A and B are shown apart, each in its own frame.
Chain A
Amino acid sequence: MEVKSELENKELIRLEHVSKSFDGQVVLDDLNLVIHENEFVTLLGPSGCGKTTTLRIIGGFETPDSGKVIFDGKDITSAAPDKRPLNTVFQKYALFTHMDVADNIAFGLRISGKSKSYIADKISYALKLVNLEGFEYRSVNSLSGGQQQRIAMARAIVNEPRVLLLDEPLGALDLKLRQDMQYELIRLKNELGITFIYVTHDQEEALTMSDTIVVMNQGYIQQTGSPEKIYNEPENAFVADFIGDSNIIDSIMVRDKLVSILGHEFTCVDTGFGNNKHVDVVIRPEDVELSEARADALCGEVTDVIFKGVHYEMCVMAGGFEWLVHSTKMFPEGAKVSIGVDPFNIQIMNKPASEDEEAATENDQN
């Protein structure tokens, strides 16, 4: 499936065939990625998927074994970190604990030899931007996690980088603060008008903030697209499973716009998968519609009900599969229900290659 970028902005960073392994363990395998100017890109994936390594390669802290990093048309693959027009907000902030807040923020400016008055202006501007006015002479050790995080941001942005790299910057904060900081980051991004490359394993963070999400797993990019696209049209079972809860069901595509799920035929909108082909079907829990049991539909029994505030989370055993259902309408445990899904909410995905081959050989034997 071809993903068209909705951003008209010009290309800023391009990773070409980047591979990297540590001690024989492949972390990135032939990775290609394009990042545009003024884009909020999130590299999303479980730990060990290569997202942080990708960020470190862009930042210059790792050199790829092969491949190129192109920045604004120039090859910067082997440029030292201090020679790159980008700045990083590190995981756990990496502040200079032997300096106060002002000296931390001024570090980059002093190195580049800016005037005293310029530096003073920049410090107060940056502190205002991150809502920490009056913190100039505080020791960084006396700050809370959220405050340290903001100082790390301020320290990076005073240098007016064209790209800000953020390595799980909210990972160490508690839930409420994390949500507040997400809005802060979006605001900062809009005020600064620069490119953000953000690394996280938190799918909610990614969906909230990003223009583009790059879902990664085991050194490969699984899918690139807008949050809506990634959530509503996952390209494979990994993406569907990783982004939000989902019911992933082994099914057979009978023909175009008709899929057989657990022995029952459902109308869908997808075409071009061929006839009688094994596929994965993804149905989000909120898209499963429960109703009183009817003889002609896929029927099952509610096995578990949990009240979640906004909705009820129910487990329904139907057709030998345990369905996860989110609904505002509650069916009690033990109730007989039938399952319906709007054709637009059925997402069909090809099986991963290896299983496809297995299916093919099975068909041959038959």
Chain B
Amino acid sequence: MIRTKKIRNLFATPYLSWAIIFIIVPLVMVIWYGFTDSDGALTFANIASIARPEFMKSLGLSLLLSLISTVLCLIIAYPLCMILTEKKAGKAGVVILLFILPMWMNTLLRTMAWQTILEKTGILNTFLNFIHLPSIYIINKPQAIIIGMVYNFLPYMVLPLYTALSRIDDNVINAARDLGANKFQTFLHVTLPLSIPGIISGITMVFIPALTTFVLSQMLGGNKILLIGNIIEQEFTQAYDWHLGSGLSIILMVFIIINMVVEAAFDKSDEQ
């Protein structure tokens, strides 16, 4: 007994060290920097600086764009996954693969592709002009960032949703139909509630990276649109103010934790 426990502890050591070195220590550092000034004295000024209008604006825009992207991902992914779960396993696998295939490519590369598509004289506008439609200018605008977010994060919505939906027993759906529910009622009262765990993981997996991104906004927003991620990145890499950057990071973390708590509450109330 004692022996096996010792061996188990031995095997756990690498993971534990990993967690301490790469998760706990950086987290403690961020918190330490966030609550101190350059002299090392305790201060709340870094945290309070979020109240600055330009920071508030960035945070608001970040929340808004992430929210819109998450909702769009959900709207796109849900019908897709529903269609796929009704298909035979083999065919569905191919389509799912097509959707997650872009994940194998570098994010920068994918986003650069969108730059060339959305540019003023890019592929999209060339095509629109070709069919005698006016050009649309969305590069360096929030719309472009939303497109980038949806494109990049859609697989993270598709995968958990597909898993949740394909886990629903066909006969549970049949049972609802058998008990007199039409297709819409079956969806509303059975399919949708049973897929909530998938919806929640999907939302978490899209919302959090969307909220913290700075690459997408930099490349598709042309440095004109600053999301909270860009502000933090600038504090670290350009202003070298690690204290302010850490303070703003803590604020962002609070929003992520709130998001997760709310979702966990949803998940629990559903189980009962």
Q: Decide if B179 is an interface residue (CB 8 Å cutoff).
A: yes
* A139 touching B172 in the complex, CB below 8 Å, given contacts A98-B193, A111-B179, A111-B180: no
Interface of A, secondary structure class, is loop
Say how far B172's CB is from chain A's closest CB, in angstroms. 5
Decide: A91 and B171 in contact? CB cutoff 8 A: yes
Q: Decide if A147 is an interface residue (CB 8 Å cutoff).
A: no
Cβ–Cβ < 8 Å partners of B171 in chain A? 90-92, 94
Cβ–Cβ < 8 Å partners of B176 in chain A? 96, 107
Decide: B194 and A97 in contact? CB cutoff 8 A: yes
Question: What is the CA–CA distance of A111 and B193 in the complex, to the nearest angstrom?
Answer: 16
Proximity string of chain A (97-112) to chain B, C-beta cutoff 8 Å, 1 when within and 0 when not? 1100000000110011
* A88 touching B175 in the complex, CB below 8 Å, given contacts A82-B181, A111-B181: yes
Decide: A94 and B175 in contact? CB cutoff 8 A: yes
Pick the residue among B172, B177, B180, B185 that contacts A96 (CB under 8 A): B172
Question: What is the CA–CA distance of A108 and B176 in the complex, to the nearest angstrom?
Answer: 8
Question: What is the CA–CA distance of A87 and B176 in the complex, to the nearest angstrom?
Answer: 10
Please count the residue pairs between chain A and chain B whose beta carbons lie under 8 angstroms apart in the complex. 67
Decide: B180 and A112 in contact? CB cutoff 8 A: yes
Proximity string of chain B (167-210) to chain A, C-beta cutoff 8 Å, 1 when within and 0 when not? 00101101111111110010001100110100000000000000
Q: Decide if A61 is an interface residue (CB 8 Å cutoff).
A: yes
Cβ–Cβ < 8 Å partners of A91 in chain B? 171
Pick the residue among B179, B196, B270 that contacts A107 (CB under 8 A): B179
* A139 touching B272 in the complex, CB below 8 Å, given contacts A82-B177, A94-B169: yes
Question: What is the CA–CA distance of A91 and B176 in the complex, to the nearest angstrom?
Answer: 14
Complex: chain B residue closest to A85, CB-CB: B180
Question: What is the CA–CA distance of A95 and B175 in the complex, to the nearest angstrom?
Answer: 8
Interface of B, secondary structure class, is helix
Pick the residue among A98, A139, A159 that contacts B179 (CB under 8 A): A159
Complex: chain B residue closest to A61, CB-CB: B174
Cβ–Cβ < 8 Å partners of A112 in chain B? 180
* A108 touching B194 in the complex, CB below 8 Å, given contacts A88-B174, A91-B171, A94-B175: no
Decide: A159 and B180 in contact? CB cutoff 8 A: yes
Question: What is the CA–CA distance of A270 and B64 in the complex, to the nearest angstrom?
Answer: 87
Complex: chain A residue closest to B189, CB-CB: A107
* A90 touching B194 in the complex, CB below 8 Å, given contacts A108-B180, A139-B272: no
Complex: chain B residue closest to A167, CB-CB: B171
Complex: chain A residue closest to B88, CB-CB: A23
Complex: chain A residue closest to B270, CB-CB: A98
Question: Can you list 11 A-B contacts (CB < 8 A)?
Answer: A59-B174, A60-B178, A81-B177, A88-B178, A94-B172, A96-B172, A96-B194, A98-B270, A107-B179, A155-B175, A155-B179
Given contacts A81-B174, A96-B172, 20 further A-B contacts (CB under 8 A): A60-B177, A61-B174, A61-B177, A61-B178, A82-B177, A82-B179, A87-B179, A91-B171, A94-B174, A94-B175, A95-B172, A96-B176, A98-B193, A107-B181, A108-B179, A111-B180, A111-B189, A139-B272, A156-B178, A159-B180
Q: Which 6 A-B pairs have the closest CB atoms?
A: A108-B179, A94-B171, A81-B177, A94-B175, A90-B171, A111-B180
